[in-house]
Amino acid sequence: MILYFSACGNSRWVAETLADKLGERSLFIPDASDEVDLQEGEALGVVFPVYAWAPPRLVSDYIRRMRLRNKPAYVWFVCTCGDEAAFTHRVFQRVLRKAGLRLDACFCLQMPETYLAFPGFALDTPENEKRKIAKAEAELPRIAELIDRREQGRFETLRGKFPWLKTYVMQPVFYRFIIADRRFRANAQCTGCGRCERECPLHNIRMAEGRPEWQGHCTHCMSCYHHCPANAIHYGSFTEGKGQYYFGRNLRNK
């Protein structure tokens, strides 16, 4: 069983590719019930994007409240990140431990950047997007093989510089002061199509008189921004002219 979260498709693609290779089911966390029907002897995998050098809080919250039908025989996770994960693995290992689970292996894949709601953050160039996806695609068979043979104690990560500072100091600041949806707005290009409402994994957008309204429980996943067909959604002036990305977008636009 693979539980996953994804806003812009990178982690979904990783979860679905691994599910395919391993012959397992994959379940999108926002749609999953708290009762998890894990069979005896089954492994539990979790796939998610790195948010501010840590697992997304909604993923950790789900692990804390889920109830597994059977104890997993093997526990692993894969995180995707634009750049580096710092001590994401330590935070998630602790979340799992508190839920009574022992982490056996973890892996980290660089994928195209999605966060733009802060000055200085930008998408990768198209060449870099392609390079990261090709590299991850080449890595996935090896990761699947290690998971399949239930390799123990393999913690592959991309720590980067100053991981402690990023995960344990900057991450709480990010959640406390940066994450809010007050600055989201749709400009005059908005056609009222409602896609932003459908694409928000937290159901934080409601259409009112043909315009999106943000409801105050955002996690800055950027799904609404990237999926808007009119590129009408902006976060203050931070996202102006920065372009859009979601996994498979260029393929679909061809």
Ligand X SMILES: Cc1cc2nc3c(=O)[nH]c(=O)nc-3n(C[C@H](O)[C@H](O)[C@H](O)COP(=O)(O)O)c2cc1C
Positions in the binding site for ligand SF4 (CB under 6 A): 7, 181, 186, 190-196, 200, 202, 204-205, 212, 214, 218-224, 228-230, 232-233
Scored b (16 or more CB within 10 A) or e, 144-183 reads bebbeeeeeeeeebbbeeebeebbeebbeebeeeebebee
Give the N- to C-terminal CA distance of the chain in Å, as an integer: 34
Distance, CA of 186 to CA of 196 (rounded, Å): 10
Question: Following DSSP, what letter does each residue of 111-170 receive, concatenated?
Answer: ------SSTT--PPPHHHHHHHHHHHHHHHHHHHHHHHTT--SEE-----SSHHIIIIII
Span from 7-15, 63-71, 142-150, 233-241 in contact with ligand X (CB under 6 A): 7-15
Shortest spacing between CB 197 and ligand SF4, in angstroms: 7
Shortest spacing between CB 222 and ligand SF4, in angstroms: 5
Span from 32-40, 61-69, 107-115, 189-197 in contact with ligand X (CB under 6 A): 107-115
Shortest spacing between CB 201 and ligand SF4, in angstroms: 6
Phi/psi class of residue 206: alpha, beta or left (left: φ > 0; alpha: ψ in -120 to 50)? beta
Residue 51 binds which entry of ligand SF4, ligand X, none, CB below 5-8 Å type-dependent: ligand X
Using the minimum distance from each CB to ligand X, give the nearer residue, 6 or 239: 6
82 is an interface residue for ligand X by CB under 6 A: yes
> Exactly one of 1, 2, 6, 77 binds ligand X (CB under 6 A); which one?
6
Residue 82 binds which entry of ligand SF4, ligand X, none, CB below 5-8 Å type-dependent: ligand X
Length of the chain equals 254
Using the minimum distance from each CB to ligand SF4, give the nearer residue, 75 or 232: 232
Nearest to 123 by CA among 108, 111, 134, 135: 111
Shortest spacing between CB 120 and ligand X, in angstroms: 13
Biggest CA pair distance of the chain: 54
Interface ranges with ligand X (CB under 6 A): 6-12, 49-53, 80-84, 111-115, 220-222, 247
